[in-house]
Amino acid sequence: MARSSWFMVLVLLLVFALSARLSDSALTPDYYNRTCPGVASIVSGVVRQKRDATIRTIGSTIRLFFHDCFVEGCDASVLIQSTPGNPTEMDADDNKSLAFEGYDTVRGAKAAVEAACPDQVSCADILALATRDAIVLVHTDRSGGPFYEVELGRLDGLSSSARSVAGKLPNPNHSMNQLIAIFRAHGLTMSHLVALSAAHTVGLAHCGKFASRAYSSPPDPTLNPKYAAFLRSRCPFDRSSDPTVFMDQASPARFDNQYFRNLQDGGGLLGSDQLLYTDNRTRPMVDSWAASDAAFSKAFVDAIVKLGRVGVKSGRQGNIRKQCDVFN
């Protein structure tokens, strides 16, 4: 290939790389200072009301943000309801366990924001704000997680397809290499993987996601026997029903580093949780953050801010929906 052709290829690659980062750099906490200055307080008020109604609001909202960002980026495409002939991300197998309370929180916040600032704030940004508030407001006392400034300026995605979800989300039975690869595909590191996994310190999981560990024969050597017995008492062997269990039995209403101390004691609920401690590559981070809530909080903030930059839509790639669950 001639030198001029190689030069053109390099220029095109550079332009692509810069354009991929352009929407990230446009995100800023003060994005709505002129168009909707009260958006943060409006969303926070709704999250507080929903939390007071049910603690399920917290974990459901956080999980919704994660599932949105890992499939087609942080563009609120997971919120779109299916229509005849078009099953959306919401109805993909990996998303069917997403709880109603998360969706309801974002819809309620969007309605309140629209009443104050019509056609100004995207559902993607409302979901990002609601997630931060769920972390901070996890409990009525001061046991919430770290506060952080939410970068804003995302647009809502223009498409949502159930087919796009497969293989994009971590699975409880994934190997460490698989987990690392999924995070790396979005520019997230192993440190981000461990820190974000600690969101499991709040919320619930259905027995179907972990019962095989509790009933395994021979017993799962990484699972604390007393914890396994407790899980068996909550999850029927015949799977005649699929109840939920708090992911962190020690402090289910606190966003803290207890998650890592649980792993040290063989108390990770999902196989992918406990793997963080059994794998030598991630165990040092588990031990470090188990020993320091401040260090964990710092790492978590860094990770979730980085997550919020994944696949951000701008320009003709998106718009601002009037309702979060239907396209304009």
256 is in an annotated binding site: yes
Task: Report yes or no: 264 and 290 within 8 Å, Cβ to Cβ.
Answer: yes
**Strand stretches in the chain, DSSP E:** 156-157, 204-206, 244-246, 318-319
Dump pLDDT digits (tens) for 94-120. 999 999 999 999 999 999 999 999 999
Task: Report yes or no: 307 and 196 within 8 Å, Cβ to Cβ.
Answer: yes
d(CA 124, CA 156): 6
201 is in an annotated binding site: yes
pLDDT for the residue 18 = 41
Does residue 25 surpass a pLDDT of 70?
A: no
d(CA 56, CA 220): 29
CA-to-CA dists, residue 54 to 101, 203, 217, 253, angstroms: 8, 11, 37, 11
- Residue ranges and CATH numbers for the domains of the chain are 27-169+310-327 (1.10.520.10), 188-308 (1.10.420.10)
Does residue 11 surpass a pLDDT of 50?
A: no
pLDDT for the residue 145 = 87
pLDDT for the residue 243 = 93
125 is in an annotated binding site: no
133 is in an annotated binding site: no
The SS3 call for residue 28 is strand
Task: Report yes or no: 141 and 251 within 8 Å, Cβ to Cβ.
Answer: no
The tokens describing 233, both together, are 């008492």
Q: How many CB atoms lie within 10 A of CB 78?
A: 30
77 is in an annotated binding site: yes
Dump pLDDT digits (tens) for 279-314. 999 999 999 999 999 999 999 999 999 999 999 999
The SS3 call for residue 235 is coil
Annotated catalytic sites, by residue? 67
293 is in an annotated binding site: no
pLDDT for the residue 143 = 60
Does residue 274 surpass a pLDDT of 60?
A: yes
Single pTM value for the model: 0.90
Question: How far is C-alpha 302 from the chain's CA centre?
Answer: 14
233 is in an annotated binding site: no
